[in-house]
Chains A and B, each alone.
Chain A
Amino acid sequence: MTLPQSEADLTAVATATPVRAGLVRRLLRNPVAVACLVILAVITLASVFAPLLTSQDPARSSLTETLAPAGGKHLLGGDGVGRDVLARLLYGGRTSLLGALIAVSVALVIGVPAGLVAGYYRRWFDAVGSWLANLLMAVPAIVVLLVVMSAIGQNTYVGMAVFGVLLSPGVFRLIRASVISVREELYVDAARVSGLTDGRIVRRHILPVVQAPTIIQAAQMLGLAIVIQSGLEFLGLGSASEASWGSMLNDAFANIYTKPILLLWPGAALALTVAAFCLLGNALRDALDASANTTRRSRRTTRKRKPTAARTVAQETPGTDTDSDSDSDSGTGTGTGTGSGTETRAGSEAASPTDSAPETGTNPQATSTPTPGPNNGPRSGTDTATAGSEPHTGPDSTPQPDAGPDARTISTADAGTKSVADTGPDAEQQPRTDSRPDAGTATGTGTETGSMAGARPGSRTATDALLVLDGLTVSYPAAGGEKTVVDGVSLTVRRGEVLGLVGESGSGKSQTAFAVLGLLPPEAQVSTGRLVFEGTDLARLGRAEMNRLRGRRIAYVPQEPMSNLDPSFRIGSQLVEPVRRHLGLSRAAAKAKTLGLLERVGIADPERVFASYPHQISGGMAQRVLIAGAVSCDPDLLIADEPTTALDVTVQAEVLDLMRSLQRERNMGMVLVTHDFGVVADICDRVSVMQTGAVVESAPASELFAAPQHPYTRMLLASTLEDAEPRPAPGRTPATTTAGSTNTAHQEGRA
């Protein structure tokens, strides 16, 4: 079974709850949140224990102490009618907090149950509830409050209760939306099938999810309620008998010229309280987001993000400058011919250039890379030792280690060749081409299913290697240090060849593909011994250069066709844009080209699809569209990440047919990431099997299926159910307790 961490695939909504224990801890780690909590606690305690903190009566006015100075009996002085400011401030906190509490409670009492019922049962209650909520939200709150307060008299608390009613639609909508998203979860269905009553389902499965957003909303609403309440009191609409911050402001405003400091105390109290509530709400939301993120990050990260950080790490390969330059010269030389050049050169010796396995091609190509990534440092040490002892057996002996049970043996051989060729990195291309005749004879004698040794002359592949990846390591920061997801992977893809990258989830196959595309998330730590595409060292390219390459020379076909089309743009514009950008075509020419492509990928009515939005076409169609987009700029390398996994088998077969014919037609190199050996058998020339971040076996497809070497490959192939015996009819199954009655019943049913 695969690593649990890699599969913590939870929806954002669902993660809201399980992390609540961690939520409090995370909140307490945020200094802003702690400050807010402290301020609110102090204010609350001061208000509650006001009688203990001051002996003054906040309502008793004394003409002698009008605008009394601070100090003495009146710590903060007296107000415009001689009441003690400190007492009024402390007691005023009671009014404000209580009023806000009433408003929020009313809002929650109305909004939460209504939202729950509307979200869970939908139907008429939802329709009526939503309609009412919209109506209430459209009503101007202040006007309503003014009318209510003037009609029912000067009672702050009644006013705040009415304000609570006006706040309730916000709560209603929030709860309803959260419930709707949870009720679609399968675990709620499962609970229903388990026979849980609706009340129990809501209590056990739905309320916990709703809790967190409700708390955040409540914090924000408390702040808002205090502001509104003070505003009303400032206008003189609160109860005259009770002290409140709003009425203090009112009084201070009247004496603003004689004693402006009076404004400070209620103003500061209001500002502090409201700010504390709002910032606390924000902090809560951040804490919640963070917890959702940590869970989400542990998913397979296949999302497109900017590769900045990855790039900087990858650039730590020194000394490849001159090599890569000379490489790129020769590389572009062959590249301009769109592969035909290389093909003709190789074509003389091998009619089918795709069948021989250039796994060892990695090695000679890797020669110019003296420094492997920091992560495989220790390994390279032992490698050089090997190379020293038998310098030239490195490339020749690769077939054995390749097929051997341990991926490490492969990497050893790789590094071995490395130091061998270190002596003359500049001459790298030439010797390879010279030694090609040997390889030619080898392939010439060998048939398609020829022996490994014959089919794998590393030397031959040097010239037509399209992509050389050597010693790729990708790791992510994890709880206890780093988690390495790709560990020293080396691959070679030749022009016109389809390389299958097979493995189970968590094997690092997608991460490898994304590393080649330079699309790993920024937190990924990438190091490559060598990542060379047609002589260009991809690891050293800047973002702009990489962008020019991506889409133009290296194209990508994703797993989920639908999520890779922007729903808000027509398909046509999504296809035309890259064509215009990369090829510099005019709008009309780009459109004509795109329509041609759509027709080429088997879309019957290109005009219609061109003008459609993604949701208007089926998944299979969307994948055809994406393939059309991928090949639109005649790329040399196509990277397809599980391109047919999301499709039905019949559609899959057609999409594979399409990919095969396009690949042959354009002589593209292709990396196909898949978990399906059927797909591999259908389309791949060569296969690399990956397990927990490392390539354990690489072989031509025919050989891999005929004689899998590595136990893991054998296990995977044995797991396919294709050749499994069909189950016999139940009459022939071993007798079970119910078998007797089963058969009679069943026979009847069948008749």
Chain B
Amino acid sequence: MTGTLDKDRPAPTPAPASAEPLLVADQVVVEYPAKGWRKAPFRALKGVSITIGAGETLGLVGESGSGKTTLGRAILGLAPVTSGSVRYGGRVISGLDKKQRRALSSEIQVVFQDPYTSLNPAMTVTDILSEPLMVAGTSRTEAERRVKDLLDQVRLPADAGQRLPREFSGGQRQRVAIARALSRDPRIVVCDEPVSALDLSTQARVLDLFVEIQERTGVAYLFVTHDLSVVRHISHRVAVMYRGEIVETGDAATVTSTPEHPYTQRLLLAAPVPDPERQAARRAERRRLAEAGEPVDDSVGSVTDSVGSVDTTGAKGDPA
């Protein structure tokens, strides 16, 4: 292996020259068995289709309980795909057995939301980063060299390797998690709300790191978030999820500034802007929309929502 990620990257498309994008989710349905005898299972995803091209970022926006995290987990093989399929490089990867799934670990990786629980507190950063390498059969010395390289890529000091995760701040931990995801040169990384637990300034820097890595290595991201401004910053295309379905897809600029679907419009107007005057205008606009259109008030809807969110707890639904 050589120094940088892009050099040792294999030829871009392993699949036969199919015209298919890198990753395709086709009418994916994810159901979780409901608690209670003979209850209908809870349907977290109701036939979701997305595509992600190589080197592209697809932003996936939605509120808690919308199923956006579940879609990410279905792609990672952590959530059961009831019907439909997930294809990677033209090959169906949903419903693989454990061994076949493990073979995909060098291709599809993940950065989770919570930088506190996504790193084993008992392991040093070097151990955490070299774990995936050891799986791939990398020698210890080679792994150590690679860990140094990874730490450098995510802008962490070289001596970070000997330390435990708890010695780092949230942003630094998330950098460690990013380094772990990159350690096997994946072609797609599922980023599940990777910056929503971070402070504002840290968030901006970590996002920049994501963009920079993508520009250097050509990795594709499925970027799951609830924050429209984050999604606009990082995504090429955006898909909006609402109650287990995709309601709108399109260019990031279009979806995040002139959305067509009423739900996306609501979402956009609900996000407060850091400018009192513009925010007042936005608030008025939201009120106008609420009064004109269907009731925006959540008090009726959220009762039904809450039933759903109770069911998803077993499935690690979106954090509130």
Which chain A residues have a beta carbon within 8 Å of chain B's beta carbons? 1-4, 6-11, 14-15, 17-18, 184-187, 189-198, 200, 204-205, 208-209, 295, 504-505, 562, 602-605, 615-621, 624, 646-654, 656-657, 675-682, 701-702, 705, 715-717, 719-722, 724, 726-730, 733-734, 736-750
Check A192 against B119 for contact (C-beta < 8 Å): no
Check A749/B232 contact, CB under 8 A, given A195-B105, A621-B299: no
Check A7/B204 contact, CB under 8 A, given A682-B279, A746-B54: no
The minimal Cβ–Cβ distance linking B160 to chain A, given in whole angstroms, is: 11
Q: A657-B283, A739-B218, A746-B21 are in contact. List 9 more A-B contacts (CB 8 A).
A: A4-B166, A208-B122, A620-B298, A648-B226, A727-B235, A736-B216, A740-B12, A742-B55, A745-B20
Alpha-carbon gap, A745 to B166, bound state (A):
42
The minimal Cβ–Cβ distance linking B16 to chain A, given in whole angstroms, is: 13
Check A190 against B105 for contact (C-beta < 8 Å): no
Check A729 against B270 for contact (C-beta < 8 Å): no
Contact of B297 among A654, A675, A748 (CB under 8 A): A654
* Complex interface: chain B residues within 8 A of A9 (CB): 116
Query: Which residues of B, 175-206, contact A by the 8 Å Cβ criterion?
Result: 177, 180, 184, 199-204
Q: How many residues of B contact A (CB 8 A)?
A: 114
Check B298 against A654 for contact (C-beta < 8 Å): yes
Check B306 against A187 for contact (C-beta < 8 Å): no
The minimal Cβ–Cβ distance linking B297 to chain A, given in whole angstroms, is: 6
* Complex interface: chain A residues within 8 A of B170 (CB): 2, 7, 505
Query: B293 at the A/B interface (Cβ < 8 Å)?
Result: no
Q: Whose C-beta in chain A lies nearest to the C-beta of B283?
A: A682
Check A651/B105 contact, CB under 8 A, given A187-B118, A504-B200: no
Alpha-carbon gap, A730 to B59, bound state (A):
13
The minimal Cβ–Cβ distance linking A588 to chain B, given in whole angstroms, is: 25
Alpha-carbon gap, A524 to B51, bound state (A):
53
* Complex interface: chain B residues within 8 A of A6 (CB): 169
Q: Whose C-beta in chain B lies nearest to the C-beta of A184?
A: B316
Alpha-carbon gap, A630 to B167, bound state (A):
38
What are 24 pairs between A and B in contact, CB < 8 Å? A3-B169, A4-B169, A7-B170, A193-B77, A193-B78, A195-B135, A604-B299, A618-B302, A618-B303, A652-B270, A653-B269, A675-B200, A705-B276, A720-B200, A721-B204, A727-B233, A727-B236, A727-B252, A730-B57, A733-B55, A736-B6, A738-B9, A739-B55, A746-B53
Query: B288 at the A/B interface (Cβ < 8 Å)?
Result: no
Check B230 against A504 for contact (C-beta < 8 Å): no
Q: Is the interface of A mostly helix, strand, loop or mixed?
A: helix
* Complex interface: chain B residues within 8 A of A191 (CB): 120, 131
Query: B248 at the A/B interface (Cβ < 8 Å)?
Result: no
B212-230, CB under 8 A of A: which get 1 and which 0? 0011111000000011111
Alpha-carbon gap, A134 to B307, bound state (A):
32
Q: Whose C-beta in chain A lies nearest to the C-beta of B132?
A: A194
* Complex interface: chain B residues within 8 A of A727 (CB): 57, 211, 232-236, 252
* Complex interface: chain A residues within 8 A of B114 (CB): 186
Check A681 against B276 for contact (C-beta < 8 Å): yes
Query: B63 at the A/B interface (Cβ < 8 Å)?
Result: yes
Q: Whose C-beta in chain A lies nearest to the C-beta of B310?
A: A615
Query: B19 at the A/B interface (Cβ < 8 Å)?
Result: yes
Contact of A8 among B166, B217, B305 (CB under 8 A): B166
Alpha-carbon gap, A643 to B314, bound state (A):
26
Alpha-carbon gap, A744 to B76, bound state (A):
25
Check A193 against B110 for contact (C-beta < 8 Å): yes
Query: B46 at the A/B interface (Cβ < 8 Å)?
Result: no
* Complex interface: chain A residues within 8 A of B38 (CB): none
Alpha-carbon gap, A195 to B234, bound state (A):
27
* Complex interface: chain A residues within 8 A of B67 (CB): none
Check A729 against B236 for contact (C-beta < 8 Å): yes
